[in-house]
């Protein structure tokens, strides 16, 4: 009887199996891609007007609440009406090309369609006002907006990410007057202050990881 | 001159193969291998094949799987994300057993199979013995005894005659 | 109570331009990843519109023959939910099923969306041209409307009759109170309105008067009735309710004594009562001034007259019953219109928001007579039966899209305020009349201010005009002899309004179609209601078809057997057998109007009933209506498990079965609040209805025990234990959660739920395609898709809202700050909800009652929802049959 | 030519004949039907079945339990008989193991397809995910998920391991290059070495030792899928042994059906002898009696517990809307097997075939009865309802049968249906006897 398989056949078999494995992994990756968010983390989002937080917050030093007026009282921080932009831009840079959509919108009364940067699925209910009230800074989730020429998403917004803070909020609590600060850093041992604030704000940690807090 | 894997002798019945093997062992041969269509009682002892470690491996595998499963359950349900389910305690030991049991059985079996393949040098698609003329009958009615060439006692000139002395059907050399 | 913002509809109309984009992409689902979402901010934010927060507007709705003051919740300008207006005398914060469903009518894509002339599209200007062509003096202009209960419309009527000499205005309601007015005319010589004071009545004798279910004012009456019968109430007197009726009504099945009696025999009973020939009279006399005899609109005038006599004799007049002038009278009847049409006088007929072709009695043959009118103009929400035979059809504006006013059961006037600009370019009756009256006739708010010169912003916010109710009138009965008809043999056929679709005007509403009708628990259709005896006599099972012959007319229809139905009475409900293309009404049930005579609109004597041998399954949500032999020991076993750490609050509910009247308002309120989809008749037949809250009913003799059952939020929840992915778990405040996005749909939880309150999306039930329905949904509640389990959440979105507000302000949630949808809608306040860890909360106090018990307590599930036992108060001297 | 060679050539020459072709065609047709069913199911949802509230489980779960039960017997036969050194095992274990593997694979489809959102079935597995969530370990469904996965893998390994020497044998007898490669790869280069034989036998013994408890535990898990619930008729401690007995019962019945079919169609009378059938029949009777005993226990416990709900349910099973399922079950599973007391009946192939087919059918009916009668009337009369199957329910039942036989027929065609080396061994040892 002669050999059915050459000496090297073993290697071939191993390679084939490896290939199959790779193929499977590839399929999974594709599936993952299909169910991914429209905009990636850290990827600047195309907008009708190239609005720069860096300029408005960093350079001019506008307060977040000047535009996002809902943030302290409502679930959504809200985008300002065009009229708010017009308080300055009825005079400033109106001739520049990149402002054309804004001016057109103001004149014709047709709405601007901004792309949502922080999109949550419909079964997740996030409320800005409570986070602000309990001393969670803007930076904590949105990152250094004062350094963002074009706005992008700093956080993954995955459930694991939310839970990370909901399980130990003390890491991210700050005094109420520092909530909107882009640069505030707790001096010394941060957890100490965190625990202090936890009590001061009366945060009930027991329910922070309940499903009902975010899902209805 | 081509390298040699060993020298084979073919027998018609397992009994005669068994006798031949015993004889060779008495002659001081240590590196013997036999190929038979079905297991032959006592052959392993005669050829001096060390007893298998499979049972120990399986026990270890089973134990590991069981403990691992219990650990995952306990960690996830008590430390990582304790959730009130129907008012039951976080560490519901009785409820953790079934999964652990099943995983133990699975773990043991998987380890066993791996150990068996490793222990019997499988998978190996290409092997010198396949070059033996008429080896295909080894899975039907032929019984082969092979003296490996790396046997210290094995000697190019004497081995063939010694094999002949065991009156096999055939004697031949197996190139590596 | 949250403030009612009052502002004009102009700003909201402005806003509507943006509506489309803002939710164009909502509701996308499946595994293909979320789509890019857009944010569409304002150009200028209109005054009074507070961004994302819901806003509430006071308005008024006509529904189910009643007039209810409501509070409309809007999200970003979209009306999503209707609650009762606590300030309004007729609702006191409660509502009924029709009011709850009104918001779905508003968004119904099946609504008529364009003006039609002879079926072809036309414009409002075309219409104006048409009406300007009407000669002012020829007297050919005739208007047919529903009951004129709007002072403004009445005023416009006067102006119209003035502007067009010789023109006529007719009124027709399929379900009206003509009998009651005629009864008053018999007794007092004047057609007076009647209103009752349930809170003052200790002994009530109802002669077929369904004051808890269908009579005008029933929401208010139910509240007073229940409140007065609270067993725990301080200084409580024994209250008792006697009901005589042919077919079980909500009032009847709640009575302490209910006597099933042929409708046409009740008159003679009233006479015997008047002649002191029944033992009942003694109890009434004992309660002089605190008793009440009331008669349903389905009884002939003389019975009403007899009741007036009795009430006066018992000193109830002015105490438990009041009489008042109805200001908006003065229209002519449908019969007159028909004679005028026959006489060829009617050149132009304007039909305001009615559907006479369908609702008119068969003998008037209104449909074909309409053909004799050269120009007919129909104003309506749908292209209904009348619209299709009219020359002109104008889409009507929904009540939530119009300015108007309306008088309630007690004669008080309330404001109808628009909360959104007309979605489909509809016009209100006022606007149409204004068009006829010419350019100087005002519209909208101006028109109202013409009727109510000093209409304050306050009144708008309050939603009604204080002191507008006509004062009670001192009246004396002067009654000559009354002719009481002889006892008739054979079967009588009764016509009744349908519990959910009324006279058919709500038949296009999917929520109401799928809402189980009390007593029968039927959905998506009507049936011929017969007594068990009659069924046995003809060997009929539920769903078997019968022919009903009345004179020359005959219909075939399925039967439904109802205990407590009078043996010689057969009942059909109106409102079905509609044919309105593209709506839910299509092909459901049979049209009972085909047997209805203008002379006998409530009862037809000596009808014949013959089985046809056909059968069809009727979609009822409850198959078994008796408790069988299920008697389980009510004992609680000790738990093996340590208590889990408790949160700051502990939510719980108590349902008082003594107050519950089984009106099903809670079921539909829950549906509206929680985006619960409708599944359709065939799915209901499969037992797949989605209502989170169902009202079980069990027959006891001729009475029904109601029991609203939703998720009991068990501490030791059997459902949670068996879920392999932890999609249903407990939170630290004692809620049994259902996490839709984690659910994979094993359905073990449903199997293991002893209360069977879990509902599963067997198919894709939520309509994600229709944009307008998307707009109606509550943005605070996740829309569930195919393959996931759902159930009552104690309105967790409302709990969370309160939580966030309170936490933000660093305080505890007040008792009564969280109100569940079912609790808010309940006319009798049977449902209380709150924090059971606070011993002083309303719910804790309710649970302290010795009537308190948990459903299936012996299963040791430890529910957070408990029930307060019903304690009827039967007269020891009475038996249940006359 | 030895019996082993006959078996071998059956696999190699593949002259299966017209009967096989027809059977295979039918099986494939049914499999395609199943495929269509699955597509429609994924497109429209489980609502295409007759399930509702209260009866949220019905056909699919009955099918699942039925199949997994049949998957118990194969491993049990070869393992238990191996441990007890039953010589007659040789003729049965190979095709019985194949039956196991295919039955379990088919049964595995149902729990997944039965989900409202099948594409998320993997959430039952503990793995690191961006939701930071874990399975809920207290649910018997989860235990079952682990049980099925473990059992499927182990039974495949067990089956494949036993095949190794025969695959090598086929490799060595193969004439065409293609078959050589096919069997050669599968044989992993088996050389029939003494060392290999030694390891092979040790592992076989060990696996056999594990397989028996595995079989018992796996079907106990299946039983717990029901008895963890608090429904009357489900919430019962005797379910695990009861289910195991039922599993072996239906398994042996199926094994008997197949044995008779193979024997008569392939003329393997010399291999699968009357003695084998007789032994199988005895085991069938024994397990059947155990099942009958559990039926009695159920009724007894119901009344002994004096639990209102249990008693009402039991009476309802006797007289209720689904009483007929109960009595059909009783007739098939208890009545029919009484014939097997008589040697003459056990010797009669037609009787054996009829009885075992009745049992296979009866065991499906039993699962349906257990599931539906407990669900359609539970605690509150207001929520009682009925279950009516739709055509899709039957599509999945018969489709799965088709899939099973398609796989089994392929096995017959490409693999030795009886263990060749064991045949050789036993024939050799028989020669030795005087």
Q: Where are the alpha helices (DSSP H) in D174-193?
A: 177-187
Q: Rg of chain B's alpha carbons, rounded to an integer?
A: 25
Task: Report how far residue D172's alpha carbon sits from residue D151's, in angstroms, rounded to the nearest whole number.
Answer: 32
Looking at mean pLDDT, say which of C642-646, D1-5, D302-306, D363-367 comes out highest. Answer: D363-367
Distance CA B89, CA A59 (A): 55
pLDDT tens string C354-386: 899 999 999 999 999 999 999 999 999 999 999
Burial C767-781 (b: 16+ CB within 10 A, else e): bbeebbbbbbbbbbb
Q: Which chains touch D (3 or more CB pairs under 8 A)?
A: A, B, C
Residues of B with CB under 8 A from a CB of A: 81, 123-127, 130-136
Residue C18's pLDDT is what?
36
What is the helix (H) or strand (E) element at residue C416, kind and residue range? strand C413-416
pLDDT band at C34 (very low <50, low <70, confident <90, very high): low
Higher pLDDT, B70 or C14: B70
Beta carbons of C62 and C149 less than 8 angstroms apart: yes
Dist CA C727 CA C738 (whole Å) = 6
Over 60: is that where the pLDDT of D259 sits?
A: yes
Residue C10 has pLDDT above 60, yes or no: no
Give me D352's structure tokens: 């054996």
The pLDDT value given to residue C1: 30
Is residue C29 very low, low, confident or very high in pLDDT (cuts 50, 70, 90)?
very low
* Domain with D229 in it: 3-118+159-432
Chain D residues whose beta carbon lies within 8 Å of the beta carbon of residue A163? 132
What pLDDT was estimated at residue C36? 67
- In angstroms, the CA C836 to CA C733 distance is 10
pLDDT at residue C30 tops 50: no
Question: For chain C, which residues make up each domain, given as ranges?
Answer: 2-110+400-423, 193-324, 491-615, 651-868
The whole-number average pLDDT for the span B90-117 is 94
Task: Confirm or reject contact between C862 and chain B (CB < 8 A).
Answer: yes
Q: What pLDDT shows up at residue C4?
A: 39
CA distances, D362 to each of C719, D326, D340, D358 (Å): 31, 10, 16, 6
Q: Is the pLDDT of residue C39 over 50?
A: yes
Architecture label for domain C651-868: 2-Layer Sandwich (3.30)
Give residue-wise pLDDT tens across range B45-74.
Answer: 888 888 889 999 999 999 999 999 999 999
> How many Å apart are CA D75 and CA D158, to the nearest integer?
8
pLDDT at C27: 33
In A, which residues are within 8 Å of C21 by CB distance?
111, 113
Q: Do C617 and C527 meet the contact criterion of CB atoms below 8 Å apart?
A: no
Please state, for a pLDDT cut of 70, what percent of chain D lies above it: 99
Which residues are CB-contacts of C276 (< 8 A; sequence separation ≥ 6)? Answer: none
Q: Scanning the structure block, which residue is given the tokens 């699975």?
A: B106
Q: Going by C-beta distance under 8 Å and a sequence separation of 6 or more, which residues neighbour residue B6? A: B31, B33, B128, B146, B147, B148, B149, B151, B154, B173, B174
Structural tokens at position C599: 């002379």
Please give the residue that has the higher pLDDT: either C349 or C234.
C349
Q: What pLDDT is stored for residue D4 in this prediction?
A: 79
Contact A10 B136 (CB under 8 A): no
First to last CA, chain C: 48
Contact A119 C21 (CB under 8 A): no
- ipTM of the shown complex: 0.92
- Gap between the Cα atoms of C696 and C664, Å rounded: 10
Instruction: Give the list of residues 6+ apart from residue C696 with CB closer than 8 angstroms, or none.
Output: C622, C706, C707, C708, C709, D380, D382, D383
Residue of D nearest to B124 (CA): D189
Name the residue among A111, A113, A125 with its Cβ closest to that of C43: A111
- Read off the DSSP letter of residue C591: -
Calculate what percentage of chain C has a pLDDT beyond 90: 65
Of the two residues A94 and C667, the one the predictor is more confident about is C667
> Domains in chain D: how many in total?
1
3-state class of A160 per DSSP?
A: helix
Q: Contact A1/B130, CB-based, under 8 Å? A: yes
Where does the pLDDT of residue C31 fall: very low under 50, low under 70, confident under 90, or very high at 90 and above?
Answer: very low
CATH number of C193-324: 3.40.228
pLDDT > 80? residue C196: yes
> Which pTM value belongs to this model?
0.91
**Is pLDDT larger for residue A142 or for residue D17?**
A142
Q: Which residues of A touch D133 (CB under 8 A)?
A: 159
Q: What tokens were used for C185?
A: 């005319």
> Among A59-73, B60-74, C791-805, C820-834, which is the least confidently predicted range?
A59-73
- Across the interface, do A7 and B124 touch by the CB < 8 Å criterion? no
Is residue D406 domain-resident?
yes
In C356-428, which ranges are continuous DSSP H helix?
356-359, 366-370, 385-389
Which A-chain residues 80-109 have CB contacts (< 8 A) with chain C? Answer: 80-83, 105-106, 109
Least confident of C31-40, C47-56, C577-586, D282-291: C31-40
Partner-chain contact D115 C745, CB within 8 Å: yes
Query: Domain C2-110+400-423: which topology?
Result: Phosphorylase Kinase; domain 1 (3.30.200)
**Pairing of β C348-352 and β C375-380:** parallel
CA D49 to chain centroid, in Å, comes to 24
H-helix or E-strand spanning residue C724: none
Q: Please answer yes or no on whether D136 and C745 come within 8 Å at the CB atom.
A: no
Q: How far apart are CA C210 and CA C295, in angstroms?
A: 9
Question: Over the stretch C87-107, which tens digit does the pLDDT of each residue have?
Answer: 998 889 999 999 999 999 999
Whether omega for the bond prior to residue D54 falls within 30 degrees of 0, making it cis, is yes
Domain C491-615 has CATH 2.40.40.20: yes
Q: Is the dihedral of CA C118, C122, C124, C129 positive or negative?
A: negative
pLDDT at C23: 36
Place of tokens 């054996």: D352
Q: What mean pLDDT comes out for the span C116-130?
A: 91
Contact at CB, D131 and A160, closer than 8 angstroms: yes
Q: Is the dihedral of CA C593, C595, C597, C603 positive or negative?
A: negative
Q: Within a domain: residue D187?
A: yes
What the block records as the tokens of C694 is 């169902």
Rounded Cα distance, D22 and D11, in Å: 18
C628: pLDDT confidence band, cut at 50, 70 and 90? low
pLDDT at D17 over 80: yes
Are C693 and C830 spatial neighbours (Cβ–Cβ below 8 Å)? Answer: no
| C44 pLDDT higher than 80 | no
- C65 closest CA partner among C92, C90, C32: C90
Instruction: Check pLDDT > 90 for residue C805.
Output: yes
| Residue of chain A whose Cα is closest to the Cα of C741 | A123
CA atoms within 13 A on the CB side of D419: 27
Q: Which residues of D touch A27 (CB under 8 A)?
A: none
D126 contacts on C by Cβ (under 8 Å): none
Average predicted confidence (pLDDT) for chain A: 87
Q: Which tens digits make up the pLDDT trace of D397-417? A: 999 999 999 999 999 989 988
Dihedral sign for Cα D115, D117, D120, D126, please.
Answer: negative
Write out chain D residues lying below 8 Å of B139, CB-based.
165, 168-169, 171-173, 190, 192, 421
Q: Say which residue the tokens 């009156």 belong to.
A: B167
| More confident call, B58 vs C605 | B58
How close B83 gets to chain A, by Cα (Å)? Answer: 8
For chain A, what percent of residues have pLDDT higher than 90? Answer: 30
When pLDDT is cut at 50, 70 and 90, the band that residue C635 belongs to is low
Inform me whether the pLDDT recorded for C720 exceeds 90: yes
Cα D94 to Cα A164, D100, D101, D165, D427, distances in angstroms: 53, 10, 11, 12, 17
Confidence of residue C49 (pLDDT cuts 50, 70, 90): low
Specify the 3-state DSSP secondary structure of C835.
strand
- Cβ C528 vs Cβ C550: under 8 Å: no
Q: What is the mean pLDDT of chain C?
A: 88
Residue of chain A with shortest Cα separation from D168: A4
D177: tokens are: 């290059």
Q: Among A188-192, C281-285, C682-686, C773-777, which stretch is predicted with the lowest mean pLDDT?
A: A188-192
- Chain B contact for A33 (CB, 8 A cutoff): no
Q: Which helix (H) or strand (E) holds C816?
A: none
DSSP string, B138-150: GGTT-EEEEEETT
| pLDDT score of C803 | 94
Phi, psi (5° rounding) for residue D271?
Answer: -90, -60
Tell me how far apart the alpha carbons of residues C110 and C383 are, in angstroms, rounded to a whole number.
9
Q: What is the pLDDT of residues A4-45, one digit of tens each?
A: 888 888 888 889 999 999 999 999 888 877 777 777 788 888
- B4-51+128-175 folds as Alpha-Beta Plaits (3.30.70)
Q: How far is the C-alpha of C89 from the C-alpha of C77, rounded, in Å? A: 27
Q: Confirm or reject contact between C697 and chain D (CB < 8 A).
A: yes
E-assigned strand segments in D131-225: none
Identify the pLDDT of residue C20: 34
Query: Which of D176, D85, D132, D121 has the alpha carbon at shortest distance from D422?
Result: D85
Domain boundaries, chain B: 4-51+128-175, 54-119
What Å distances lie between residue D261 and C207, C377, C452, D7, D19, CA to CA?
A: 78, 80, 94, 15, 11
CB contact under 8 A, A125 and C35: no
Give the C-alpha separation, C558 to C592, whole Å. Answer: 12
Q: What is the token pair recorded at C597?
A: 């005579």
Is position D228 within any domain? yes
- The whole-angstrom separation of Cα D251 and Cα D49 is 27
- Phi/psi of residue C595, each to 5°? -105, -5
In this predicted structure, what is the pLDDT of residue C47? Answer: 63
Give C137-157 pLDDT, tens digit per residue. Answer: 777 899 999 999 999 999 999
**Band (B151; pLDDT cuts 50, 70, 90):** confident
Please give the pLDDT value at position C339.
93
- Other Cβ atoms less than 10 A from the Cβ of B151: the count is 17
Contact D202 B125 (CB under 8 A): no
3-state secondary structure of C365: coil
pLDDT tens per residue across span C424-445:
889 999 999 999 998 888 888 8
CB contact under 8 A, B86 and C730: yes
In C688-795, which residue ranges form alpha helices assigned H by DSSP? 718-722, 748-752, 771-776
Check CB contact under 8 Å for A216 and C27. Answer: no
Is D137 inside a domain boundary? no
The Cα D398–Cα D30 span in angstroms is 7
């Amino acid at each position: 009887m002669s050999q059915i398989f050459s000496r090297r056949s073993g290697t071939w078999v191993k390679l084939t199996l490896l290939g199959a494995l790779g193929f499977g992994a590839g399929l999974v990756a594709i599936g993952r891609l299909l169910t991914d968010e429209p905009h990636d983390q850290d990827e600047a989002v195309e907008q009708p007007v190239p609005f720069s937080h860096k300029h408005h917050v960093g350079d001019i030093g506008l307060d977040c609440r000047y535009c996002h007026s809902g943030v302290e009282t409502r679930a959504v921080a809200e985008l300002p009406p065009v009229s708010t932009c017009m308080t300055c831009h009825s005079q400033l840079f109106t001739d520049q090309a990149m402002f054309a959509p804004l001016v057109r919108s103001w004149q014709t009364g047709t709405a601007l369609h901004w792309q949502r940067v922080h999109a949550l699925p419909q079964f997740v209910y996030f409320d800005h006002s409570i986070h602000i009230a309990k001393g969670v800074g803007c930076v904590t989730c949105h990152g250094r907006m004062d350094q963002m020429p074009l706005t992008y998403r700093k956080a993954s917004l995955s459930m694991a990410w939310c839970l990370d803070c909901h399980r130990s909020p003390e890491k991210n609590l700050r005094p109420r007057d520092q909530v909107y600060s882009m640069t505030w850093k707790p001096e010394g041992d941060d957890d100490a202050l965190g625990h202090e604030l936890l009590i001061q704000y009366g945060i009930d940690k027991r329910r922070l990881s309940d499903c009902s807090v975010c899902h209805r | 001159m081509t390298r040699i894997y060993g020298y084979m002798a073919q027998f018609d019945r397992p009994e005669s193969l068994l006798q031949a093997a015993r004889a060779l062992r008495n002659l001081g041969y240590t590196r013997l291998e036999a190929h038979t269509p079905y297991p032959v009682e006592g052959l392993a002892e005669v050829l001096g094949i060390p007893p298998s470690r499979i049972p120990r491996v399986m026990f270890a595998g089973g134990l590991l799987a069981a403990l691992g499963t219990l650990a995952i359950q306990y960690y996830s349900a008590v430390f990582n994300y304790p959730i009130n389910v129907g008012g039951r305690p976080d560490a519901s030991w009785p409820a953790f057993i079934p999964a652990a049991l099943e995983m133990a059985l699975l773990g043991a079996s998987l380890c066993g199979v791996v150990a068996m393949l490793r222990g019997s040098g499988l998978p190996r698609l290409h092997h010198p013995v396949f070059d033996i003329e008429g080896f295909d009958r080894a899975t039907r009615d032929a019984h082969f005894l092979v003296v490996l060439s790396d046997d210290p006692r094995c000697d190019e000139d004497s081995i063939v005659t010694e094999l002949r002395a065991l009156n096999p059907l055939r004697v031949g050399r197996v190139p590596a | 109570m949250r403030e009612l913002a009052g502002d004009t509809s102009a700003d909201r109309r402005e806003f509507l331009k943006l509506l489309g984009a803002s939710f164009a992409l909502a509701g996308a689902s499946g595994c293909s990843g979320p789509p890019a979402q857009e944010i569409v901010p304002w150009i200028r934010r209109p005054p009074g519109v507070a961004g994302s927060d819901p806003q509430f507007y006071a308005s008024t709705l006509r529904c189910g023959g009643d007039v209810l003051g409501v509070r409309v919740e809007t999200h970003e300008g979209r009306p999503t939910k209707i609650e009762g207006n606590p300030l309004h005398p007729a609702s006191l914060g409660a509502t009924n099923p029709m009011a709850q469903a009104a918001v779905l009518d508003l968004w119904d894509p099946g609504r008529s969306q364009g003006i039609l002339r002879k079926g072809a599209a036309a414009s409002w200007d075309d219409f104006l041209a048409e009406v300007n062509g009407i000669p002012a003096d020829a007297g050919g202009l005739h208007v047919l409307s529903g009951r004129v209960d709007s002072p403004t419309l009445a005023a416009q009527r006067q102006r119209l009759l003035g502007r067009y000499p010789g023109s006529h205005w007719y009124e027709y309601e399929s379900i009206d109170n003509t009998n009651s007015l005629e009864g008053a005319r018999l007794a007092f010589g004047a057609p007076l309105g009647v209103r009752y004071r349930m809170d003052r009545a200790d002994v009530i004798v109802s002669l077929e008067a369904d004051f808890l279910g269908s009579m005008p004012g029933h929401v208010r009456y139910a509240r007073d009735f229940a409140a007065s019968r609270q067993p725990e109430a301080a200084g409580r007197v024994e209250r008792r309710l006697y009901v005589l009726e042919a077919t079980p009504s909500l009032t009847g099945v709640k009575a302490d004594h209910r006597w099933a009696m042929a409708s046409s025999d009740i008159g003679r009973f009233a006479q015997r009562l008047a002649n002191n020939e029944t033992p009942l009279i003694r109890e009434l006399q004992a309660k002089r001034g605190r008793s009440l005899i009331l008669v349903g609109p389905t009884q002939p005038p003389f019975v009403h007259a007899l009741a007036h006599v009795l009430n006066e004799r018992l000193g109830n007049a002015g105490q438990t019953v009041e009489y008042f002038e109805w200001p908006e009278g003065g229209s002519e009847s449908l019969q007159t219109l028909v004679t005028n049409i026959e006489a060829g006088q009617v050149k132009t007929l304007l039909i305001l928001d009615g559907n006479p072709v369908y609702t008119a009695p068969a003998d008037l043959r209104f449909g074909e007579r309409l053909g004799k009118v050269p120009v007919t103009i129909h104003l309506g929400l749908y292209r209904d039966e009348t619209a299709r035979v009219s020359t002109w059809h104008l889409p009507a504006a929904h009540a939530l899209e119009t300015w108007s006013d309306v008088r309630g059961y007690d004669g008080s006037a309330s404001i109808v305020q628009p909360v959104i600009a007309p979605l489909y370019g509809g016009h209100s009756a006022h606007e149409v009349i204004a068009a006829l009256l010419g350019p100087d006739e005002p519209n909208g708010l101006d028109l109202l201010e013409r009727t109510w010169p000093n209409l304050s912003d306050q009144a708008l916010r309050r939603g009604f005009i204080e002191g507008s109710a006509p004062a009670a009138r001192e009246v004396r009965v002067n009654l000559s002899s009354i002719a009481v008809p002889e006892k008739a043999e054979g079967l009588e056929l009764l016509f009744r309004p349908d519990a959910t679709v009324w006279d058919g005007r709500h038949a296009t509403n999917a929520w109401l179609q799928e809402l189980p009708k009390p007593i029968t628990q039927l959905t998506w259709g009507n049936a011929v209601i017969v007594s068990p005896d009659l069924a046995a006599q003809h060997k009929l099972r539920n769903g078997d078809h019968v022919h009903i012959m009345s004179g020359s007319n005959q219909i075939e229809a399925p039967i439904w057997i109802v205990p407590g139905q009078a043996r010689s009475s057969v009942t059909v409900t109106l409102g079905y057998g509609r044919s309105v293309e593209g709506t839910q009404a299509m092909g459901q049930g049979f049209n009972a109007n085909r047997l209805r005579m203008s002379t006998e609109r409530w009862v037809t004597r000596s009808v014949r009933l013959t089985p046809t041998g056909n059968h069809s399954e009727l979609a009822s949500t409850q198959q078994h209506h008796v408790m069988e032999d299920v008697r389980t020991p009510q004992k609680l076993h000790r738990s093996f498990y340590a208590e889990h750490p408790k949160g700051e609050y502990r939510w719980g509910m108590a349902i008082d079965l003594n107050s519950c009247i089984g009106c099903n308002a809670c079921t539909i309120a829950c549906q509206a609040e929680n985006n619960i989809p409708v599944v359709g008749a065939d799915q209901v037949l499969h037992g797949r209805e989605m209502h989170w809250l169902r009202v079980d009913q069990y027959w006891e003799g001729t009475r029904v025990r109601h029991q609203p059952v939703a998720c009991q939020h068990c501490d030791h929840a059997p459902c949670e234990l068996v879920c392999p992915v932890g999609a249903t778990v407990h939170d630290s405040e004692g809620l049994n959660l259902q996490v839709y996005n984690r659910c994979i749909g094993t359905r073990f939880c449903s199997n293991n739920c002893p209360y069977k309150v879990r509902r599963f999306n067997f198919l894709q039930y939520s309509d994600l395609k229709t944009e307008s329905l998307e707009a109606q949904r509550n943005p605070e509640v996740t829309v569930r898709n195919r393959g996931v389990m759902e159930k009552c959440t104690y309105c967790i979105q409302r709990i969370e809202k309160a939580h966030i507000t309170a936490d933000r302000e660093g305080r505890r949630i007040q008792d009564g700050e969280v109100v569940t949808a079912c609790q808010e809608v309940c006319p009798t306040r049977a449902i209380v909800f709150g924090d059971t860890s606070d011993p002083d909360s309303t719910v804790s106090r309710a649970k302290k009652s010795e009537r308190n018990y948990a459903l299936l307590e012996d299963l040791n599930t430890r529910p957070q929802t408990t029930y307060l036992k019903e304690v009827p108060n039967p007269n020891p001297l009475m038996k249940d049959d006359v | 030519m030895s019996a082993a060679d006959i078996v071998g050539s059956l696999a190699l020459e593949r002259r299966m004949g017209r009967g096989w072709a027809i059977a295979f065609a039918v099986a494939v047709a049914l499999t395609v039907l199943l495929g269509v069913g699955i597509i429609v199911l994924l497109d429209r949802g489980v609502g295409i079945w007759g399930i509702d509230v209260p009866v949220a489980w019905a056909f699919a779960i009955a099918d699942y339990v039925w199949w997994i039960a049949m998957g118990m017997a194969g491993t049990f036969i070869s393992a238990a008989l191996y441990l007890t050194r039953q010589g007659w095992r040789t003729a049965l274990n190979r095709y019985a193991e194949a039956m196991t593997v295919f039955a379990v694979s088919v049964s595995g489809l149902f729990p997944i397809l039965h989900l409202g959102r099948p594409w998320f079935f993997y959430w039952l597995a503990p793995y690191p995910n961006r939701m930071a969530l874990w399975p809920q370990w207290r649910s018997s469904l989860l235990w079952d998920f682990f049980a099925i996965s473990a059992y499927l893998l182990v039974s495949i390994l067990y089956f494949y391991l036993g095949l190794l020497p025969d695959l090598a044998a086929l490799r060595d007898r193969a004439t065409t290059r293609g078959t050589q490669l096919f069997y050669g790869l599968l044989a992993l280069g088996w050389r029939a070495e003494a060392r290999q034989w030694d390891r092979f036998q040790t592992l076989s013994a060990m696996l056999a030792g594990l397989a028996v408890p595995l079989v018992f535990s796996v079907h106990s898990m299946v039983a717990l899928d029901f008895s963890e619930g608090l429904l009357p008729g489900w919430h019962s401690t005797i379910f695990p042994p009861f289910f195991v007995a039922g599993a072996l019962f239906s398994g042996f019945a199926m094994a008997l059906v197949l044995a008779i079919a193979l024997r008569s169609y392939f003329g393997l009378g010399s291999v699968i002898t009357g003695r084998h059938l007789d032994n199988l029949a005895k085991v069938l009777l024994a397990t059947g009696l155990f099942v009958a005993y559990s039926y009695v226990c159920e009724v007894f416990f119901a009344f002994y517990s004096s639990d209102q709900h249990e008693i009402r349910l039991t009476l309802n099973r006797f007289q209720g809307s689904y009483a007929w399922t109960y009595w059909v079950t009783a007739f098939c599973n208890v009545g029919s097997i009484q014939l097997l007391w008589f040697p003459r009946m056990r010797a009669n192939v037609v009787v054996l075939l009829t009885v075992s087919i009745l049992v296979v059918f009866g065991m499906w009916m039993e699962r349906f009865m257990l599931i539906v009668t407990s669900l359609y009337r539970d605690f509150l009369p207001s929520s009682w309802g009925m279950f009516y199957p739709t055509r899709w329910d039957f599509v999945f039942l018969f489709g799965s049968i088709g899939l099973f036989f398609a796989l089994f027929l392929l096995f017959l065609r490409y693999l030795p249906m009886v263990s060749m080396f064991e045949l050789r061994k036993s024939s050799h040892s028989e020669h030795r006897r005087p």
